[in-house]
Structure 1
Amino acid sequence: MRTLLLLSLIGALLGIGPGPAVDAAQAAGGCYVTASSATLRSAPSARSTALGVAYRGNRCKEKDWRGGWTKVAMTSGGAKGATGWVRDDLVHTAAEGVRTCIPEDVACHQ
């Protein structure tokens, strides 16, 4: 695992390879809020009740997907412990290759 992580980091620094390294949490459905903020909602709709707000870099665990929305359980930040729906474009995993500026995205921290 350490060798794979080291090779992934070297590849990311050189701009080659599959992208940022994926840790065990991400492999198990871990995600991050990548927008400046994301409103957690009671249902997969912009018209549903707002339950809370998560901010860039807050960690989450994906629970379900429906029509452009992801149901997440927040695992860090002020919304830790809350579960709700957020738009798909507001949360990502490092494995998606999206420039996320999360801790695992080495390219954002150069």
Structure 2
Amino acid sequence: MTEPLAMTEPNETGLSAPRVTIRFCTQCQWLLRSAWLAQELLSTFGTDLGEVALVPGTGGIFEIRYGDDVIWDRVTDGGFPEAKVLKRRVRDRMDPERSLGHSDR
């Protein structure tokens, strides 16, 4: 299986916007958790993200990528991210100077 492209089509500003991929285990029934985190990212970053893709997998996988970089792995990072932690990791790659309001506290 080939990896998805790291960047998507140009966004409203004409710039290529990053792709976030959430790969989750269907056997573990982590779809709702994945969809909720996708919603949190889209609500926070809007059109600054080109795409948030949900990719079904098996074997206990729960991995989140920003472009080609793994920014969360259930095994490596120990469980699942809190929404504010995930938002910070995306922000730190996208626009480190951006304020996340209450999520920064």
Superposition TM-score tier, normalisation by shorter sequence: under 0.3
Which is richer in helix? Answer: 2
TM-score of the superposed pair, with normalisation by structure 1: 0.26
TM-score of the superposed pair, with normalisation by structure 2: 0.27
